[in-house]
Structure 1
């Protein structure tokens, strides 16, 4: 239930913050709640991506896309993610989540996020997300049109390009599972 309260608070707060455009970075100031913590006494690894979803809601709201999407029955979906953990986040500790949509292709928007505590990055990663409508995937061109922005994406950063390629290879392995053959 606490995620619904946080979602509501983030969404309401985003409605009163300055507008952003794709490429801008936003920051959310958050606290590790007891319900975020696992048996090791720090924020559960699965909770990080759930918190990233909160930043996506704030970003879409501040970019003016949330209302547009809701009117058309569009909703965001995550297509993949990669996260690296450096240090744990302890209960009741404050931290900052930095979030930006850095670039896009015909189908996906690529996201960069960082969890920062006391000026130190404790976890960071990339994700790709898309928009799904009643008729299926909503392309990035439609998203850019809705936001009245240039549909030409900024360049893909090298680390992100490497992840995109790794993601492509992983998806290819889903089509032809190899784990049994590799471990035999």
Structure 2
């Protein structure tokens, strides 16, 4: 009969590793540190109007119970790494912190167009599509082989205790002296509709017993036409 002797220190290491992996998402934090370090020290700094890219793979720990494609929740997880890369390379996060502010994600909507199969390499693009004093709106695309956009997400990054518009303008001046393309002056139509949807939801949650504003839907909307203002 075989007897296996395991040193006490080895047993302690194994037990510690199991406890660590069972308590926190080690892979997430390790990858986040890698993403931030790579963006900070090894990637080129970019303008806040530029589009950044990060590459990733759909691995076995990303697939759903059908074992056929990437789990829907994993797309949102991947956005954390894409956003961290954008923050570091543009200097957005560092300048918000330097101004005494903070940034949190206030809303996110994702649309899935085609699933990503296991062991597929994909690219996530990130760009700022609009900002105001309180918010930076970002758009992300999941681009697979052949350039097909498998999913597209819109995120609302709420900036606290400082002005997002002032920080963005500062970054434009620091990076390119205002010589890059001009920032958007108004929201894209689809973004404005999305913001209206979020505001209606917020109003309902703040006053669940109060009547909601009623949108004027007496006429059919054409392509790109905005929803009329709410009628009290």
Change (3 A) 1:163 1:123: same
Query: Is the CA contact (8 Å cut-off) linking 2:142 and 2:151 kept in structure 1?
Result: yes
Which has more radius of gyration? 2
Change (3 A) 1:70 1:138: closer
Query: Is the CA contact (8 Å cut-off) linking 2:108 and 2:153 kept in structure 1?
Result: yes
Displacement after TM superposition at 1:76 (Å): 2.6
1:160 counterpart residue number: 191
Matched, 1:140 2:170: no
2:103 counterpart residue number: 76
1:40 counterpart residue number: 66
2:48 counterpart residue number: 22
Matched, 1:10 2:35: yes
2:153 counterpart residue number: 125
Q: TM-score, normalised by structure 1?
A: 0.82
Displacement after TM superposition at 1:176 (Å): 3.1
Change (3 A) 1:74 1:50: farther
Q: TM-score, normalised by structure 2?
A: 0.66
What's the RMSD between the two structures over aligned residues?
A: 2.3
User: When the two structures are aligned, how many residues end up with a matched partner?
Assistant: 173
Change (3 A) 1:71 1:140: closer
Displacement after TM superposition at 1:84 (Å): 0.6
Displacement after TM superposition at 1:117 (Å): 0.7
* Unmatched runs of 5 consecutive residues or more in structure 1: 179-184
* Unmatched runs of 5 consecutive residues or more in structure 2: 1-25, 210-232
1:181 counterpart residue number: none
Higher strand fraction: Structure 1 or Structure 2?
A: 1
SS for the counterpart of 2:45 is: coil
Between 1:33-42 and 1:69-78, the stretch displaced more is 69-78
Displacement after TM superposition at 1:177 (Å): 3.5
Displacement after TM superposition at 1:148 (Å): 5.5
Query: Is the CA contact (8 Å cut-off) linking 2:93 and 2:103 kept in structure 1?
Result: no
Query: Per chain length, whose mean CA-contact separation is higher, i.e. which structure has more relative contact order (CA < 8 Å, sep 6+)?
Result: 1
2-side partners of 1:157 and 1:145: how far apart? 20
1:112 counterpart residue number: 139
SS for the counterpart of 1:29 is: strand
